[in-house]
Amino acid sequence: NAGVMQNPRHLVRRRGQEARLRCSPMKGHSHVYWYRQLPEEGLKFMVYLQKENIIDESGMPKERFSAEFPKEGPSILRIQQVVRGDSAAYFCASSPPAGGGEQYFGPGTRLTVT
Amino acid sequence: GENVEQHPSTLSVQEGDSAVIKCTYSDSASNYFPWYKQELGKRPQLIIDIRSNVGEKKDQRIAVTLNKTAKHFSLHITETQPEDSAVYFCAAPNTGNQFYFGTGTSLTVIP
The reported pLDDT for the residue numbered A57 is 92
Contact flag A105-B103 (C-beta cutoff 8 Å): no
* Whole-number Å distance between alpha carbons of B74 and B55: 11
Average pLDDT of chain A is 93
Average pLDDT rounded to a whole number, residues A39-56: 90
Distance CA B12, CA A46 (A): 32
In one-letter notation, the amino acid at residue B8 is P
Between A102 and A84, where is the model more confident?
A84
Lowest mean pLDDT among A50-64, A78-92, B73-87: A50-64
Distance of alpha carbon B28 from alpha carbon B60, whole angstroms:
29
The β-bridge partners of A65 are: A79
Indicate whether A100 pLDDT > 80. no
Contacts of B34 in chain A (CB under 8 A): 102-103
Cβ contact A102–B34 (<8 Å): yes
User: What is the percent of chain B where pLDDT is above 70?
Assistant: 98
pLDDT confidence band for A1 (50 / 70 / 90): low
pLDDT tens, residue by residue, B3-25: 899 999 999 999 999 999 999 99
Nearest Cα to A95, choosing from A57, A59, A42, A50?
A50
Least Cα distance to A105 among A12, A53, A43, A40 occurs for A43
pLDDT number for residue B37 = 97
If one counts every other C-beta atom within 10 angstroms of the C-beta of residue B20, the result is 16
Q: Determine how many CB atoms are found less than 10 A away from the CB of residue B39.
A: 12
Q: How far is A23 from chain B (nearest CA, A)?
A: 14
Summarize pLDDT for A6-45 with one digit per residue, the tens. Answer: 999 999 999 999 999 999 999 988 899 999 999 878 899 9
Residue A68 CB-density burial (10 A; 0-12 exposed, 13-18 middle, 19+ buried): middle
